[in-house]
Amino acid sequence: MDATFARQEILVTALRNVLGEPVEVVETHISWVLLAGDYAYKIKKAVDLGFLDFSTLGKRHFYCAEELRLNRRLAPDLYLEVVPIAGSADHPVLSGPGPLIEYAVKMRRFPQFCLLDQVLLRGELTSEMIDAIARKIVDFHGRTAVADNKSPFGTPERTHLPMVENFAQIRPRLRDKKDLIRLDELERWSEQEYLARWDALAARKARGFVRECHGDLHLGNMALLDGEAVPFDCIEFSDNLRWIDVISEVAFLTMDLHGRGRSDLARRFLNAYLEQTGDYEGLEVLRYYLVYRAMVRAKVACIKAGQERLSAGHWAQYRNHIELATEFARPLQPLLTITHGLSGAGKTTVTQSLLEATSLFRVRSDVERKRLYGLKPEARSGAGTGESIYSPEANERTYRRLTEVARGIIQSGFSAIVDAAFLKRRERASFHELAQELNIPFVILDVTAPENLLRERVKQRMQQGRDASEADITVLENQLRNSEPLDASELALAIDVDTEQKENIQALVQRLMKATSC
């Protein structure tokens, strides 16, 4: 192994001359990437790290081919071919005759400043980009292969194995007693959470949520190319790490954004994904996967810290991810919040700001109503008030769905905010009763705006046609005539939000926290 690795180092040096251009070499713990002109050539290191094995030429060839196949699903313009290397380590020939000594994946090169972790550092990663990434991942998960019941992947035991291996691979590399104590604490939590979520993990597999995913979805593996975020460098070296629950994939990027200090974007991404897929049941296993993903990055940092040339700063990264895993493992006090307000009051705008500033998960009536009837959020139903998906029966069905989703979110250990008009007392009462049943705080966000502003916003929204809501002026006028205002007991539970005043979101968060601490 050491001799092969030494020959590879000689090969990488020699390829600088063969490629005929100024060559920059980027080294990771598992590969070298040679950047030459318009192209990049990736050579896998002859290493066996337990979770991956590139120790033989045959294995490296196989995994190069897999890397090409898998990454073309999301980045077809980046991944070009597998290039065989002949000759000798000190005199290599690309695609030449004779015995082959190595293989490289040839990719189209892009500037390093295009990487999304660099885009974030420059303060240029926008909410719109996050929304586009969510849509891309939703589409990808919707068309990628699904593990059937006969597949060995995605069972609770196979799912938990990488978590167990993370701890086993980290522990021998630690010397500090405090590091070992914290690792032990997280390992105990992981085992307890795994046992508690065993049935949920099994149900996820049975319901088709285990799929052939990217497997390594974080900002360092996405590039902004022609204004579009392109995921690349998916996991090719382990079927078990790639055939995973889609929520595990989503948890990786969510964890990464949290770890990089952008919890607002993490929450936006996660909520957008859940809203588009309706996979709120995935929240039952989310905390388990968030901790797992933080431990994956901790392991990578730990391995790099042990490789002399890559060690700078990696122990700090390791401890940061351990701290992040500890935060994810910490239980939260669930809260149930509902909105109350007429069409155009700004309920969705307010709840969007709140979900980015807090740990609330939002459920929108406009979206769930259409999901129940097989429509996408922006699709027009073609039905007027009182017809089809807006009939009294459809309203009842929609509010039952909202109750079901909110209950699931809370029972998964998170807080829910239900974005709906709630213009009838019985609708509000049913959610108050749910909060009492679950013994959690209950808050009503009473969202208001002057009537002229309501009409202006509704007209503008209908002209734009980009929102899930189909409420028009006729609907608004009907609401103004027939809505049932909050009574005295409800006002005692309410926080008033006048959207004409554009209240600072942090001030609103403080009011929400104060209301729930009483």
Which DSSP category does 103 fall into?
E
Distance, in Å, from the CA atom of 431 to the CA atom of 207, rounded to the nearest integer, reads 28
Of the pLDDT bands very low, low, confident and very high (cuts 50, 70, 90), residue 518 is very low
Domain identity same for 87 and 179:
no
By DSSP bridging, strand 336-340 and strand 360-364 are unpaired
- Give the pLDDT of residue 387: 54
CB 30 within 8 A of CB 47: yes
- β-strand partners of 92: 87
Kindly give, in sequence order, each residue whose CB lies less than 8 Å from that of residue 459, ignoring residues fewer than 6 positions away: 473
Number of structural domains (the chain) is: 3
CB 75 within 8 A of CB 108: no
250-271 per-position pLDDT tens digit: 999 999 999 999 999 999 999 9
- Give the pLDDT of residue 305: 85
Q: Comparing 35-44, 225-234, 251-260, 503-512, which segment has the lowest mean pLDDT?
A: 503-512
Domain identity same for 67 and 158:
no
Q: What percent of the chain has pLDDT over 90?
A: 79
- Give the pLDDT of residue 386: 47
Domain identity same for 26 and 154:
no
Distance, in Å, from the CA atom of 355 to the CA atom of 332, rounded to the nearest integer, reads 15
CATH number of the domain where residue 399 is located: 3.40.50.300
- β-strand partners of 223: 115, 230
Boundary-marking domain end, from 329, 354, 384? 329
Kindly give, in sequence order, each residue whose CB lies less than 8 Å from that of residue 77, ignoring residues fewer than 6 positions away: 108
- Smallest Cα–Cα separation from 219: which of 110, 331, 130, 150? 130
Domain identity same for 279 and 145:
yes
Boundary-marking domain end, from 329, 362, 386? 329
Domain identity same for 104 and 151:
no
Kindly give, in sequence order, each residue whose CB lies less than 8 Å from that of residue 497, ignoring residues fewer than 6 positions away: 346, 350, 445, 446, 447, 448, 503, 508
* 517: its two tokens: 């601490």
Boundary-marking domain end, from 52, 85, 109? 109
Kindly give the interhelix angle for 314-329 and 177-196, rounded to the nearest 10 degrees.
40
- Smallest Cα–Cα separation from 420: which of 499, 308, 341, 329? 341
Q: Phi, psi at residue 100, to the nearest 5°?
A: -90, 140
SS3 242: helix
Q: What percent of the chain has pLDDT over 70?
A: 97
* Domain containing residue 242: 116-329
Domain identity same for 206 and 141:
yes
Domain identity same for 121 and 75:
no
CB 248 within 8 A of CB 292: yes
Domain identity same for 82 and 164:
no
Q: Is the pLDDT of residue 155 over 60?
A: yes
- Smallest Cα–Cα separation from 133: which of 296, 278, 281, 268? 268
Kindly give, in sequence order, each residue whose CB lies less than 8 Å from that of residue 424, ignoring residues fewer than 6 positions away: 483, 484
Residue entry with tokens 């593990």: 147
Domain identity same for 149 and 298:
yes
Domain identity same for 307 and 379:
no
Kindly give the interhelix angle for 156-170 and 177-196, rounded to the nearest 10 degrees.
180
Distance, in Å, from the CA atom of 79 to the CA atom of 272, rounded to the nearest integer, reads 29
Average pLDDT over residues 83-105: 94
CATH number of the domain where residue 125 is located: 3.90.1200.10
If you average pLDDT over every residue of the chain, what do you get? Answer: 93
Q: Is the pLDDT of residue 505 over 90?
A: no
Q: Write the DSSP string, 325-366.
A: HHHHHS-----EEEEE--TTS-HHHHHHHHHHHSSEEEEEHH
Domain identity same for 101 and 247:
no
321-332 per-position pLDDT tens digit: 999 999 999 999
Provide the total of helices (H) and of strands (E) in the chain, helices listed first.
20, 15
Domain identity same for 85 and 127:
no
Q: Label residue 361 left, alpha or beta by phi (over 0 means left) and psi (-120 to 50 means alpha).
A: beta
